[in-house]
Amino acid sequence: MAIVTVIGLGSMGIGMANSVLRAGHEVWGLDISEARMEAFVAGGGKSGTIAEAAGASDILVCVVLNAAQTREVLFGAGGAADHLKPGAVIIACATIPPAAARALAAEAAARGLLYLDAPVSGGTGRAASGELSIMASGPAEAFAAARPALDAMSSTVHALGDEAGAGSAMKAVNQLLAGVHLAAMGEAFALGISQGLEAQRILDVVSVSAGTSWMFENRGPHIVENDYETRSAVNIWPKDLGIVSEIAESAGMPVPMTGAALGQFRAAAEAGDGLVDDAAVVRVYARAAGLKLPGDA
């Protein structure tokens, strides 16, 4: 049995923490929300101060929003790294630029800690079932130390090299496709509705046709059911596609599809949809064309 701390019990982190707990490990859960920590404890987890949790653990899983939050949680004043034992492993899961991952890994190494650059994909459902895809890079020792948590959280661990940065680069590739597919999904639904097609029929036909995608099949039902309860928020995409754009700019290559999708998510956020489910990107197209979506009065 491993002792694991999960920092960040949001929509992804809570599923990951529960998956590790279900695998028979001792799991501490930390979050800025007292209610989330109380709910995790009610389900069999443990909670306490960062000193108590990190000090007890051999594995720390960091599931926060971005590079700044990752750095603050790990290396800020009183952060987790101050309390982890030498040789403990950090599994860093936020979507961040590769250069930031390399810098965080170097800081961890300077403190005698192992670091795995390990962004995840699969959504809240697969986080809850322990079937995430994890894109990981770091030294062999980090992979070995992290294995109990990795096995509990994922169906697939993609080992992408022995240095931090490759995992984050691969996540950027994935997010480029996911963001473009999601924006295209909204565009396609809006186009069909503008031509008098019912949203349910669009979903039914495209899902078994060449134009489908995982994003179309996963988010399309949210539009059909007028269900924009947040699983993955619109606000995730300006951040993630912004990272893709930064990486591409540093490589000197154009990413026009990324730019187009990024513009639509920014428009959705500016219209007040930043905190709702990202299927709400369809509203950008609907507003522009004066369309009524399912459930609209």
Question: Contact at 8 Å (CB) between 94 and 66?
Answer: yes
Q: Is 46 a catalytic residue?
A: no
Q: Residue 1, SS3?
A: coil
Rounded distance, CA 259 to CA 124, Å?
Answer: 26
Rounded distance, CA 160 to CA 294, Å?
Answer: 42
The backbone torsions φ and ψ at residue 115, rounded to the nearest 5 degrees and listed phi first, read -140, 130
Task: Tell me whether strands 3-7 and 26-30 are parallel, antiparallel or unpaired.
Answer: parallel
Instruction: Output the six-digit token pair for 33.
Output: 């929300």
Question: Contact at 8 Å (CB) between 223 and 283?
Answer: no
Question: Contact at 8 Å (CB) between 265 and 238?
Answer: yes
Instruction: Output the six-digit token pair for 194.
Output: 């503008």
Rounded distance, CA 163 to CA 143, Å?
Answer: 11
Question: Contact at 8 Å (CB) between 118 and 135?
Answer: yes
The total of other beta-carbon atoms located within 10 Å of residue 14's CB is: 23
Which one of 46, 85, 171, 239 is the catalytic residue?
A: 171
The string over 239-254, giving b where at least 16 C-beta atoms fall within 10 Å of a residue's C-beta and e elsewhere, is bbbebbbebbeeeeee
List, by residue number, the catalytic residues: 171
